[in-house]
Amino acid sequence: MPPEGALLESRTMRDSVMERVETLDKIKALAMLPDGIHVRTEDVARYFEVSTGVIRQLTARHRAELRENGMQVLRGSDLRRFHSDMLSLWGGGKGESYPQAATQLTLYGRRAVLNIAMLLRDSDIARRVRTYLLDAEEGRREAYASLDRRVTQIESCLGGVGLALQELGPVLNRMSQRLDSLDRRLDATNQVVAALSNRLCDMSVRIDRVDAKVDDLARQVRDLRRGRKHR
């Protein structure tokens, strides 16, 4: 894992973890304005336990990067509209506890505050945020590496399965041929059985005819005997 100071030097590395804004609250609670979206310069300074002057100097040095990540400066009508919105959220429109900037107000979103954490050198809180970010990133890389190893193992197993299927193919083909042969033999046997059944049915009919003739002959013999007795 690179040292936490690497985030101070590499914009690319900072950009790679900029979405992990939940890190801020894992280190320390960040008090937001009533809109739940923005904080002021003094709120940022309070979070990192440094002076507002330190935050202003850092903002001046990295203004372009911080603007890309949500920092904004309100003036004129935008500032008045924002104050009006905050007053209604903060004190039900009374406004006695909401501090107002005189001519301008610098606001930071969570991304901008996380950006400051990766730029601020002389703050223990900022160092802890950077360390947490890098530890989490290292854990994610290890998880990806583990997943990659598991996928590689599965791919190797699938390769073995493919070879086994190739070897099994001829065996299955032979079994299929034997089953086809058995089917043909069963068909032939069924035909023989059907023929035998037909012959048995024919024999049964002929036997019934013979039985009828025998019965008729027996009657004739009985009749003949009765006729002799009457004489």
Which residue intervals of the chain are DSSP H helices?
6-9, 11-16, 23-27, 41-48, 52-61, 63-68, 76-91, 110-117, 124-230
Residue tagged 């890098």 (tokens): 134
Q: Tell me, what amino acid is at 32? A: M
Separation of alpha carbons 110 and 3, rounded Å: 23
Q: What is the CA radius of gyration of the chain?
A: 48
Per residue in 94-153, pLDDT (tens digit) is 544 556 656 899 999 999 999 999 999 999 999 999 999 999 888 666 555 444 566 556
pLDDT of residue 55: 97
Per residue in 36-49, pLDDT (tens digit) is 999 999 999 999 99
Contact (Cβ atoms closer than 8 angstroms) between residue 75 and residue 103: yes
Residue tagged 């890309």 (tokens): 68
pLDDT of residue 182: 77
What is the average pLDDT value for the chain, to the nearest integer? 83
Per residue in 53-104, pLDDT (tens digit) is 999 999 999 999 999 999 999 999 999 999 898 888 876 545 445 566 568 9
